[in-house]
Amino acid sequence: MSSQNRTIQEALSAIERSQRLKRISWLLGLAVVVALTYGGLQVLNFSLEMLARQQDNFFAAIADFVPPNFVELSLYSKTNEVEGLGGVLQTLTHPGTFAETFTTEAGRNGTILGLSFITIVIGFTGTVLGFPLALVFGILGSERVVPFPFNFVFRGTMSTIRAIPALVWILIYIPLAGITPLSAMLAVATDTIGNLGRLFTDELEEIDEGPIEAISSTGADRPQIISFGMLSQVSTSFVAWTLYILEINTRIAISLGVYGAGGIGQYIDTRIALGAYDRGAAGIAMVIFIVLTVELLSSRIRARLRPGEHEGKGFVDSLRDLGNPKKWLGVGDTTKDSKN
């Protein structure tokens, strides 16, 4: 019995030592992070005193953005010089002007709605054009598909693309297309290849061996094993990651506009540079609306791709859910609401 107690005590002592070492490691790590952060603030000349001195100027500048002026929201509000929030109300009460805003050169390049449309087109088109190469590189970059070290040719290519941000890619494409929405789209597409391709590769590394062995046992060739044994396991994840990258690309398209590549980002940059802060605030409000809308749509589509989330639900019920605010917000039990 004493021998057994001694064994238990030794095991408990080992666990205590392990936990003690873990706590010490966490504390040391935290101390290192704090020290590095403090050093970084010193390098950047961070000073609370300086911020306190500038806060009055900061709040005064913020006050210039309020209230936002939506006079350039649409061709109707711009032509009739409808100032402030009236630009939104008048645009909504005259929906016939939307087609003219989106289809004419003056509408696309001179109004908030038109430039926002350009931004969305840049993000969406760049994602779609980058997807095929991202898929190819992502598959070939997996060690399950291409043996080591040959798969690192594709991994290295994706890493190189990711190392160069989209803000630099657009500079690379200037000799080809200038600083235009086209060069912004090419930058987004190139960035998509690296980011989305890497996500695809990581997904393939985590798949189960069971389906692969089952397909192999039937005498399937290599392409069939990849298609039915590997890609069939990650198809839903691939779609979800693509939607996630679309969200990111929409934000990137806005940032590229500040470079002068068109879209709502260029509108905000131009208006602020001219001192029209209230109009710049209207552009910022539209950016928030775009980002939230794209994120909401993407998150709801990803939710519907989850296994079992909507089993046994008919087409009519699915359409009814689209009009259910609780379902879009993801709160409460909406099963009864959709049946009533």
Q: How many residues does the chain have?
A: 340
Task: For residue 11, give every residue at least 6 positions away whose Cβ sits within 8 Å of its Cβ, in sequence order, or none.
Answer: none
Answer whether residue 16 is part of any domain. yes
Claim to verify: residue 131 and residue 255 sit in the same structural domain: yes
Name which of 207-211, 250-254, 277-281 the model is least confident about. 207-211
Compute CA distances 60 → 55, 83, 272, 277, whole Å: 8, 22, 15, 12
* Number of domains composing the chain: 2
| CA–CA distances in Å: residue 191 to residues 33, 77, 194, 292, 299 | 30, 36, 6, 22, 22
Tens of pLDDT, residue by residue over 233-277, are 777 888 888 988 998 999 999 999 888 888 899 999 999 988 889
Q: Please give the residue range of the domain that contains residue 283.
A: 109-308
Asked whether residue 36 carries a pLDDT value surpassing 70, the answer given is: yes
Whether residue 32 is found in the same domain as residue 149: no
pLDDT exceeds cutoff 90 at 187: yes
Q: How many helices (H) and strands (E) are present in the chain, helices listed first?
A: 19, 0
Same structural domain, 161 and 284: yes
User: Is 293 domain-assigned?
Assistant: yes
User: Do both 124 and 254 map to the same domain?
Assistant: yes
User: Residue 323 pLDDT > 70, yes or no?
Assistant: no
Question: Would you state the pLDDT for residue 312?
Answer: 41
Residues 276 and 162 in one domain: yes
What pLDDT shows up at residue 120? 92
* C-alpha separations of 29 from 20, 21, 34, 36 in Å: 14, 12, 9, 11
| 142 is a domain residue | yes
CATH number at residue 196: 1.10.3720.10
CA 261 to chain CA mean position, Å: 19
Residue with tokens 């690296």: 194
Residue 323 lies in a domain: no
Residues 42 and 130 in one domain: no
Q: Which of 78-82, 141-145, 254-258, 298-302 has the highest mean pLDDT?
A: 254-258
Does 7 share its domain with 139? no
Is 218 part of any domain? Answer: yes
What confidence score (pLDDT) does residue 32 get? 94
Whole-number mean pLDDT of the chain? Answer: 82
Q: Confirm whether 95 is domain-assigned.
A: no
Average pLDDT over residues 86-100: 80
Instruction: Provide the 3-class DSSP secondary structure of residue 73.
Output: coil
Closest CA to 130 of 48, 190, 205: 190
Contact indicator for 234, 199 with CB cutoff of 8 Å: no
Same domain, 239 and 155: yes
Whether 145 maps to a domain, the answer reads yes
CA diameter of the chain: 95
Same domain, 6 and 134: no
What is the model's pLDDT at position 326? 61
Q: What is the pTM of this model?
A: 0.77
Same domain, 203 and 291: yes
- Spatial CA neighbour of 192 closest among 113, 246, 264: 246
Using DSSP's 3-state secondary structure scheme, residue 100 falls into helix
Pair 185, 302 in one domain? yes
The structure tokens 């935290």 sit at: 30
320 found inside a domain: no
Q: Are residues 35 and 142 in the same domain?
A: no
